[in-house]
Chains A and B, each alone.
Chain A
């Protein structure tokens, strides 16, 4: 399988960490690290990934790795990249900044924008599990419409999160960067290809990976990959690739009804009883399908 090297001892994100069973982020982060290879320095934002991989005195990382704070992974990476330029090692060492959806699209947005605008040679990877999972499933700017989270709860006057996802990928693309793409843990070979391709470009590049969270989305841990695939197949999570501002590839799908994706997750269960609200979610999928021409 892609991103899986034959000898598990050579995984750059080793096993034995404390992620939950079925954690999509743990799988995706390992694929990213393996695809980037050992000559990499990773700057990691605060969040589940940092917590479950590095409880002192242990670390699951076999690459040079640093965690500083929640909102500054892109800025810390900028400093690392600047230092490598100063040391004359920039062609030899790759720099990755990574964080969750909250650390990227909300509190770290300014630092990310600065990093992209300044043109640093860094790949930023956002692991999008669509809420603040590490603190107990609060909504973020990347929480989807009508998702039931602990701070966008369903109630007499609420259908869940009142807003659709922030268009993070488009915001990244708007910085005139050479490469930006979305990916999904359901397609490991695609993640690996995109990481490798991104790292061939000079300058800033951006990758947003959809990673189900069984605890936060309330689904069976064995369904992580299936649910991630359904997000793509329903049009709710389009997989697209931009080079220099232009869409260069789109994963086409035989479109499935959104209910197939929603019904497997506790966070959306309330929607199945509310046809008008469900219609709003369908519109989100439809807009994606039209925008990117997703349908086969």
Chain B
């Protein structure tokens, strides 16, 4: 059904259609509207679930951990400081192979305190064993949540999944979306059938001490499962596309890259701006394109290489930094292209930190600068006056 909705309410609605039994969250801007929406759906009797209002994000993540371990589908959402406060539990959830689904309304990290969008929060937990998706728009955010549950709960995978949606840019924006019907979601997403669960009728111990004789194998197993998840995500995306009659999900979206000499790589809502500039430059005959990374963990190496192998210049445009080193997505793309022996020159562009506006002019500038080989990460859109001060 087509409807005009706020991003957060669209997510609340699709989560309700996924029928989680336990939801737990702690308020933080810009995640709040999502969980408020769910609380209201439960209060109105439209969703049959336990909503646990906790005293911290650490406990929100711990509550969904406990409920998931008991064999119930769960949901939580957070942002920024909240995600970092959860970090310890996030690693734990992945290590215990629990199919928790979390929305990260992406927001910058303090200090200075800043409630606006960038990707530093979820990029900081990229090594935790969670599958990570990033949405370009509200429609994609809706669809990725359903795919997230499907993949996370797939017995071949059994790992948690995070869906990153840009704070404010998507959470507080309104868009006309195609909201799937409840029975479409239900047919695609059968009730959770957990691999192991806490049950007095078949008592198991979970979360054992893993000494040096077993620990490394648990990590290897997750690394291997992540590789398998690439195929399962593709499979789930294709199956769900059939259900809703649109092309949804997937690992990457290559936009006008076939003959492109210059390709930018990006994640999230930023891709929309880049696509507009790509169209504009294409009109002028420039051979440019953009590669959107939808699935960031597992990192879809083959698809990224396929999309970039013909390019002369690649620019990685990202909303996160690794202070003291190159920005994270750039490091991964550059290392991948180097290993595969691609010819492209790769450059790093950090943009939009703490909600700094990203204009089409900046993207045009990046398409020019991508040819220059400066060999260092460039911050685009800095205010020179502030730097002097």
Binding site for B on A (CB under 8 A): 38-41, 43, 50-51, 54-57, 59, 61-69, 71-72, 74-87, 93, 110-111, 113-114, 117-118
Contacts and interface: CB of A to CB of B under 8 A. Distances in A.
A80 B200 CA distance: 12
Contacts of B206: 65-67
Interface in B179-211: 198-200, 202-211
Given A63-B203, A78-B59, A110-B56, A83 B65 contact: no
B22 A50 contact: no
A72 to B, nearest CB: 4
Nearest to A54: B208
Interface string B39-69: 0000000001110111110110011111111
Contact of B24 (A43, A62, A68, A79): A79
What are the 10 A-B residue pairs with the smallest beta carbon separation, nearest first? A79-B66, A75-B62, A83-B70, A59-B205, A114-B55, A67-B207, A76-B66, A72-B62, A75-B59, A79-B63
Contacts of A41: 70, 198, 200
B88 interface: yes
Given A64-B200, A79-B24, A118-B52, 9 more contacts: A59-B205, A64-B199, A67-B206, A72-B62, A78-B63, A80-B198, A82-B63, A83-B67, A83-B68
Contacts of B71: 83, 87
Interface residues of B, number: 43
B21 A71 contact: no
B72 interface: yes
Nearest to A92: B200
A21 B2 CA distance: 68
Given A38-B200, A79-B63, A85 B50 contact: yes
B66 A68 contact: yes
Interface core residue of A54, A69, A74 (most chain B CB under 10 Å): A69
Contacts of B52: 78-79, 82, 118
A68 B207 contact: yes
B214 A76 contact: no
A86 B58 contact: no
Give the one of A40, A64, A71, A87 with max B CB within 10 A. Answer: A64
A97 to B, nearest CB: 9
A114 B64 CA distance: 15
Interface centre among A55, A86, A111 (most CB of B within 10 A): A86
Given A80-B70, A86-B21, A67 B208 contact: yes
A76 B69 CA distance: 9
Interface string B209-225: 11100100000000000
Contact of B21 (A62, A83, A118): A83
Contacts of B101: none
A86 B72 contact: yes
A80 B49 CA distance: 14
B207 A75 contact: no
A93 B198 CA distance: 11
B64 A79 contact: yes
B251 interface: no
A65, A69, A79: residue with the most chain B Cβ atoms closer than 10 Å = A79
Give the interface centre of A65, A114, A118 by most chain B CB atoms within 10 Å.
A114
A41 B208 CA distance: 15
Nearest to B204: A64
Contacts of A93: 200
B208 A77 contact: no
B55 A111 contact: yes
8 contacts: A38-B203, A63-B203, A65-B198, A78-B66, A80-B70, A82-B67, A87-B72, A110-B58
A84 B63 contact: no
A49 to B, nearest CB: 11
A89 B108 CA distance: 41
B92 interface: yes
Nearest to A55: B209
Contacts of A87: 21, 70-72
Contacts of A63: 200, 203
A80 B66 contact: yes
B89 interface: yes
A64 B65 CA distance: 15
B66 A39 contact: no
A172 B265 CA distance: 54
Contacts of A38: 200, 203
Contacts of B198: 41, 64-66, 80
Given A78-B52, A87-B72, A68 B205 contact: no
Nearest to B215: A56
A114 B206 CA distance: 23
Nearest to B206: A66
Contact of B205 (A39, A54, A118): A54
